Amino acid sequence: MSALTTLAQHVSRRPQRMALLEQIAVQGSITRAAKAAGLSYKAAWDAIDELNNLAEKPLVERTVGGRGGGGARLSHEGERLLALYKRLEALQALVLQAAEDDADLQLLGRVMLKTSARNQLGGRVCAIHAQGRNDLIEIELPGGARIEAQITHDSTEKLELLPGSTVVALIKAGWVELQPLSAAAGPGLNQLEGWIEQILADPNGPSEVRIGLASGQVLCALVAAERLLELGLQASDPVRAQFSPQQVLLGTQL
């Protein structure tokens, strides 16, 4: 895959960016292009800066004192990117026709997601609770278990999250703490109950503990060997996995 194709797929996650590029090509004016793309003048300039930062070469060339508050035009690279995006849109239409169900596309997006986080749990947004500059996102996992993620309100808007949105919750293995079910649950933490499927000991570091959940999903935790001995946990034991809402990262598909 070429760098230009990768860039087109990346910026296409924000359709307004591509609409802005298209309108710049048509209008030759930031003010008119922003209005046509449904952006404020400042948001348009911010988007242009982001686009130029993403590209190896600037996609938009600016001119000072143009009509309507500053002129702009697409560079050769920008024109190529816009043409490629239009081809990707046509291919996307074919894919949508081929998919038998929307769930097929959601699954495809999840399995193509690449991340350094060991734990990736697909779920659905149930509710969004405002907490000042942050939002607490309530997520229902398959099987009905729920977890919460605390993210900034800006992140909620950038991800375009709404009740019903499909998301992927990312939790690093080192953030997951284990407890026997007999122990008191930690206040304010996400709690997922399951059983220890496997313990992979590592003589040079923490053991990898695989926890099976009732949903069929699997969590991975990294736990020091002495901590496992202290907790008295062994394979097949019921266990509670807990982690902070602040330690849940969220991702969405295209």
Contact 197, 210 (CB under 8 A): yes
Residues 192 and 211 in one domain: yes
pLDDT at 241 over 80: yes
Residues 194 and 222 in one domain: yes
Residue 229 domain-assigned (yes or no)? yes
Q: 216: pLDDT confidence band, cut at 50, 70 and 90?
A: confident
pLDDT digits (tens, 9 = 90+) for 36-48: 988 888 888 778 8
Residues 117 and 93 in one domain: no
The average pLDDT across 129-134 equals 95
Kindly state the tokens that stand for 174: 């080192």
Contact 199, 228 (CB under 8 A): yes
**Residue 31 belongs to a domain with what CATH number?**
1.10.10.10
Q: How many CB atoms lie within 10 A of CB 24?
A: 28
Residues 56 and 124 in one domain: no
pLDDT digits (tens, 9 = 90+) for 138-149: 999 988 999 999
Domain stops at, among 43, 71, 98: 98
Q: Residue 157 has what pLDDT?
A: 92
Kindly state the tokens that stand for 3: 């760098």
Q: What is the mean pLDDT of the chain?
A: 82
Q: 96: pLDDT confidence band, cut at 50, 70 and 90?
A: low
pLDDT digits (tens, 9 = 90+) for 187-200: 999 999 999 998 98
Residue 254 domain-assigned (yes or no)? no
Taking the C-alpha atoms of 18, 20, 26 and 29 in order, what is their torsion angle to the nearest 10 degrees?
A: -160
Q: 12: pLDDT confidence band, cut at 50, 70 and 90?
A: very low
Burial of 70 (0-12, 13-18, 19+ CB in 10 A): middle
Domain stops at, among 74, 98, 122: 98
Contact 140, 123 (CB under 8 A): yes
- Structural domain harbouring 144: 108-168
Residues 213 and 137 in one domain: no
pLDDT digits (tens, 9 = 90+) for 13-28: 457 888 899 999 999 8
Kindly state the tokens that stand for 166: 């499909």
Query: Regarding predicted confidence, which is higher, 85 or 49?
Result: 85
Q: Which residues make Cβ contacts (< 8 Å) with residue 139, sequence separation at least 6?
A: 123, 124, 125, 126, 146, 147, 148, 149, 167, 169
Q: How many domains does the chain have?
A: 3
Residue 249 domain-assigned (yes or no)? no
pLDDT digits (tens, 9 = 90+) for 156-172: 998 899 999 988 898 99
* Dist. CA 195–CA 202, nearest whole Å: 20
* Dist. CA 156–CA 234, nearest whole Å: 39
Residue 91 domain-assigned (yes or no)? yes
pLDDT at 100 over 60: no
Query: Regarding predicted confidence, which is higher, 176 or 14?
Result: 176
* Dist. CA 51–CA 43, nearest whole Å: 12
Residue 251 domain-assigned (yes or no)? no
Kindly state the tokens that stand for 53: 């930062």
Residue 82 domain-assigned (yes or no)? yes
Q: Residue 26 has what pLDDT?
A: 92
